[in-house]
Amino acid sequence: MQDIVAKLMLSRQSIRAGIFRRIVKTLKLFPYETRLEYGAIERPHYGYCVLQAARLAERLGHKAISVIEFGVAGGNGLYNLEMHAAEVTKLTGIEIQIYGFDTGSGLPAVLDYRDLPYHWKPGFFKMDVEKLKARLSTSTLVIGNVADTIQSFVEKYKPAPIGALFMDLDYYSSTKQAFALFDAHRASLLPRAFMYFDDIAGDEIALFNEYTGVRLAIQEFNAAHAEQKICKTTYLGRGPTQEMWHDDIYIYHDFSSVDYCKFVAASNQQLPLNFNKL
């Protein structure tokens, strides 16, 4: 009986949140943070990662950050990311540089079963490079195989500290190649960086799991690195709404970063005794 009551309460909360979200999205009168909190905005997961990275950077004393999308495809995500970046800059004053990594020619050849050839095909998600460049305002495209472009990225572009990464490379092999960023350019990352993975939860065709695809790449990275970990979030489900993308947010931690232990929480957390309320 208790389980039934709990489910009914959660259902009512979800319905109320859904109604409020539609109102917020339709009227477009609410501030960016409210629209983001209730998912009443396109790709709220992009905004969440960028905003949280900017807030961390501000507490650490940085004036700017970089955010990266791995797997740009047609470019709709990167275009949307520019909107979120502009809104976050208005809120925080933190300058945001955007970089998009892609082959430009679609998915490369599969490596083996770990790249899920039953779900992906080489050539999927081709980009019209010139058309996309004409549409973008502030983003920089990094075109080429990620295994090659990632190595010279910092030297060539000199990005601000990297605070958010959006992973949509589909393959196990390409995702693992992108993770080379954490070794080659470790000093260029914030001590904690917000990450969104597009291919964590799939359907009955994709059947993503810990032994193939993106999940395997994460598992192997964590096993190979003692002081760097990619960890799933544990707190997003406590917000006013329950969103599918909550399960796709991870945090990169570098425990040995010089800034990892720098205090960034509220400075006054003392709780006074109040016997009148006991």
> Under a CB-based contact definition with an 8 Å cutoff, are residues 85 and 72 in contact?
no
Residue 195 CB neighbours (<10 A): 21
Say yes or no: 252 and 155 in one domain.
yes
Say yes or no: 9 and 58 in one domain.
no
74-116 per-position pLDDT tens digit: 999 999 999 999 999 999 999 999 999 999 999 999 999 999 9
Q: What is the pLDDT of residue 277?
A: 59
Mean pLDDT across 144-148: 96
Sequence-distant (6+) residues with CB within 8 A of 138 are 82, 85, 86, 97, 98
pTM: 0.88
222-268 per-position pLDDT tens digit: 999 999 999 999 888 776 677 889 999 999 999 999 999 999 998 88
Q: What is the pLDDT of residue 28?
A: 64
Say yes or no: 88 and 14 in one domain.
no
What residues form DSSP beta bridges with 102? 143
Say yes or no: 18 and 115 in one domain.
no
**Region for residue 161 given its phi and psi (left: phi exceeds 0; alpha: psi -120 to 50; beta: otherwise):** beta
pLDDT greater at residue 123 or residue 9: 123
d(CA 219, CA 81): 27
Nearest to 189 by CA among 219, 141, 225: 225
274 belongs to a structural domain: no
Say yes or no: 73 and 169 in one domain.
yes
- The secondary structure element, H or E, covering residue 197 is strand 189-197
157-166 per-position pLDDT tens digit: 999 999 999 9
d(CA 214, CA 192): 20
pLDDT band at 12; cut points 50, 70, 90: very low
DSSP annotation string for 222-239: HHH-SSEEEEE-SSGGGS
Say yes or no: 25 and 85 in one domain.
no
38 belongs to a structural domain: no
Q: What is the pLDDT of residue 10?
A: 43
Q: How many domains does the chain have?
A: 2
Say yes or no: 69 and 111 in one domain.
yes
> Under a CB-based contact definition with an 8 Å cutoff, are residues 255 and 185 in contact?
no
Say yes or no: 143 and 228 in one domain.
yes
Say yes or no: 122 and 151 in one domain.
yes
271 belongs to a structural domain: no
Say yes or no: 190 and 230 in one domain.
yes
Domain that holds residue 164: 43-256
Say yes or no: 110 and 207 in one domain.
yes
Say yes or no: 23 and 97 in one domain.
no
Nearest to 241 by CA among 26, 34, 1: 34
- CATH code for position 157: 3.40.50.150
